[in-house]
Amino acid sequence: MSGRTGGRWAAVAAAVCAMAAALAVLPPSAPDAAGSRAGATAAASAARQSAVRAPATCTDPEASLRPSTADGPAVQRIKNRGRLIAGVDQNSYRWGYRDPATRELSGFDIDLVRAVAKAVLGDPDKVTFLAIPTNQRIPALEKGKVDIIARTMTINCDRIRQVAFSTAYFEAGQQVLAPKGSPVTAFDDSLKGKKVCTAKGSTGESELRSESHGATVLTVPNQLDCLVRLQLGRVDAVITDSALAAGQAAQDPSVRLVGKPFTTESYGVAMNLGDQDLVRRVNAVLEDYRRGGAESPWMVAYRKWLAADLKGITAPPEPKYKD
């Protein structure tokens, strides 16, 4: 077996192990916290959602509620519990992944969740992390399984009718990931006759539904599932966020980003539509997270996790607020 082939299969094995490990991460002190809360609060969550409706028209989905540190019912719920329950990814390198050396969840999104926990509860470790597949992000919020989702989730007009978002904390775009030497060159007719993978419920799925460029589309629960299929030769290309694709290319040097991002997207922290006080509190956290120029917590996290693969970013996105 050649060194390149061995390295590629090592990457496959690591990815498969990560997929098998994609289970809820609960602290020993509260193993049943998420399950009991989901059963007890499903009706209350539905009531909150029915009481709050997103606007019928959508012209600026990134505009969020203005920040506030006042304690409303959602923030008080978290304080009474003593833990923040956060839906995250544990398979996206650099964003939310299990560090093989420490077995701890790490990444840009994980640091942001800990900042929210510190602001609300005074301790960045008072978090129960739940690994949530891409297609279960919105249902997890609607059913009250989690307080927040911080999982490279794009803000768009369809989603703001289902969940509430913070202001944008990162900007990316959909892009194509393909093996080196592939005839696929971009999101264009080079995809014709090819098999393309994307995560169910993702922006990539929506884009491919609108224009497949003649490709056969395969949807899977998580983006990492697409990377494994690409490594095994079962698909020809992957459509995903450029930020996630950069991390996947860093994991496996046999694949690369091709073409340019063909959308512009903003990531936000997602919450239940009825938890407006929590949206305002998270926006207050983000205001502090952006503050400080080159030494802001946001820039420190960017340099730590993302700068090696996503070069040239000099500042976080500017927040937009509703009038």
pLDDT digits (tens, 9 = 90+) for 126-159: 999 999 998 899 999 999 999 999 999 999 999 9
Does residue 169 contact residue 268 with C-beta atoms inside 8 Å? yes
In this structure, the answer to whether residues 184 and 115 fall within a common structural domain is no
* 161 and 180 together in one domain: no
Query: Which one of 201, 234, 258 terminates a domain?
Result: 258
pLDDT the model gives residue 36 = 44
Residue corresponding to tokens 């209350």: 44
pLDDT band at 24 (very low <50, low <70, confident <90, very high): very low
What does pLDDT average to over the chain? 86
In terms of domains, do 156 and 142 share one?
yes
Question: What's residue 11's pLDDT?
Answer: 44
* pLDDT at residue 12 tops 60: no
Q: At what angle do helices 108-121 and 73-81 cross, to 10 degrees?
A: 90
Is there a single domain that holds both residue 143 and residue 73? Answer: yes
pLDDT digits (tens, 9 = 90+) for 27-56: 433 334 444 444 445 545 554 554 455 556
Residue 222: pLDDT above 90?
A: no
Instruction: Provide the percentage of residues in the chain whose pLDDT is more than 90.
Output: 70
Do 161 and 298 have their domain in common?
yes
Question: Which one, of 310, 274, 299, 307, lies nearest residue 65 by Cα?
Answer: 274
Helices (H) and strands (E) in the chain, counts: 10, 15
**DSSP code string of 68-118:** -----HHHHHHHHHTSEEEEE-SEETTTEEE-TTT--EESHHHHHHHHHHH
Q: Is 314 among the domain residues? A: no
Does any domain span residue 58?
A: yes
Q: Considering the domain boundaries, does residue 233 fall inside one?
A: yes
Domain containing residue 81: 13-171+266-305
| Residue 315 domain-assigned (yes or no) | no
Question: Does residue 41 belong to any structural domain of this protein?
Answer: yes
What is the model's pLDDT at position 244?
87
Q: Mark whether 129 and 221 lie in a shared domain.
A: no
- The CA distance from 170 to 267, in Å, is 5
Does 89 share its domain with 236? no
Among 54-63, 184-193, 297-306, name the one with the lowest average pLDDT: 54-63
Are 161 and 111 in contact, with CB atoms under 8 Å apart?
no
Query: Is the domain of 21 the same as that of 38?
Result: yes
67 falls within a domain:
yes
Has residue 86 got a pLDDT over 60?
yes
Segment holding 224, helix H or strand E? helix 223-231
Q: Do both 224 and 270 map to the same domain?
A: no
Total domains, the chain: 2
DSSP for 244-312 reads HHHHHHHH-TTEEEES---S-EEE--EEETT-HHHHHHHHHHHHHHH-SGGGSHHHHHHHHHTTTTSTT
The structure's pTM equals 0.79
Q: Has residue 62 been placed in a domain? A: yes
Q: Can you tell me the mean pLDDT for 54-77? A: 90
Per-residue pLDDT tens for 237-262?
999 999 988 888 888 889 999 999 99
* 100-106 CB contacts, 8 Å cutoff, 24+ apart: 100/14, 105/25, 105/129
DSSP, res 181: T
**In a shared domain, residues 154 and 39:** yes
Lowest mean pLDDT among 36-40, 112-116, 134-138, 182-186: 36-40
Considering the domain boundaries, does residue 319 fall inside one?
no
What's the token pair of residue 236? 């020809």
Residues 277, 135: one domain?
yes
* Shared-domain flag, residues 233 and 282: no
Domain with residue 45: its CATH number is 3.40.190.10
